[in-house]
Structure 1
């Protein structure tokens, strides 16, 4: 799914020098076995993301949530749902009875305090430990680098980012090279094509494109603290249902035939609008670096 140079046709009138140049570009786009070994060792992968404004590189790792420090987030940039405080009044609008009730409940409240505190402690101990995505992000912003050299320079600097807390960070900083920063096909994403593809109609929808975009969007929604993105792609949502259907189609077989019929019942306009919102939210958090 990545953007690779295509070899010229036999009937093409390209010169030998031009063909050699294209072959050289193709070779540089491939990742060496040495680079593969390096990324496996540090348990991090380069990621290439095509956005409406360009194509950029970053790094991503997966670690258990109790193994890394939480990334600092600029609270002002985090979306928060609006909530209303309920009024405490009786049915007649008189507050006098409320004070009497407080006196009567004071003793029971004291008894409940101890049990509540114990429950809170138990909740903290049973905090969910899960595998989480980590990028070169900081305070809810994601730097995307237009060149491998710029990414390596950033990694070797003292710039704060969430990946600094992983266990292999020092090893990564020491041994990373620009020639290693090549994303595999599985780590290449084209968010810039999603909305256009959806607007083309059900027959043009590409399962691999949509499934991979959903995987990346979920990761970025979590890492950049984007509740709108997370909610739009949450389990049971229309886009989650579309994602499951696309996976079935990609797998092929008899089930894929029924899945294709199911896709035709999904609203094209609503789906494209939802994805446009996702791409827009992520784009707002990107800082382009050259």
Structure 2
């Protein structure tokens, strides 16, 4: 079995409603083009309603903004369908039916047997637009090694090993006795209390992070770690994005976190992700001179 499949989301704004004569040729061809996809080598799955397409799925305020999402065995399989099948004729004419400047696309790796969620897919597109191509989200011209995420907990030895590496790194630069805050337990990151994820890049574990509920609507990001070998490839930003999505799924509308003055890269990561400085709280009051706390509304 393949190590990963490829998911894609295509967002476009139509020039007219789906029942308008201006887009009738496109709408009339949908069944044929979708059937072609279904029969193409490497096709796995596509988003559709009982009508056989996704034109009735509305997730944006603009009713003309449509989504197309599918899963393929490889990027090459998807490319073959898009550019080397009868589909390409409609692709070349897309400006007749869709606004030229409003097409948004992202590809990402997904575990075989997994169906992507639209909420995650939209975040991948937004991530690509903010950060450029990375293993978390990329385009046809910038293929990446597979980056996959797994839910985990602190009873898993491999996850514990990642956390121990994080602890050692933090301890090596600590200068104050109250500076280190390692506290996190499995019950805090399971069920409706929180979530912990770890990342595999090309099959190798390279990072982890968790979120725990600290108030009914507030979560705290904890235990963020990325293997130094893969830093600079936006893995940390990807883990953070997954934790924010998990927080929303947990019903949280705000997340907070603490990092230290000796972690300038972490501070820069959180600032780029839209986190604002806040005053230390709770146990971090004991390390107010070395703690840097941040928060973000979700």
Question: Structure 2 length as normaliser, TM-score?
Answer: 0.26
Of structures 1 and 2, the one with the larger relative CO (CA 8 A, separation 6+) is 1
Structure with larger Rg: 1
- Judging by fraction of residues, say which structure has more helix: 1
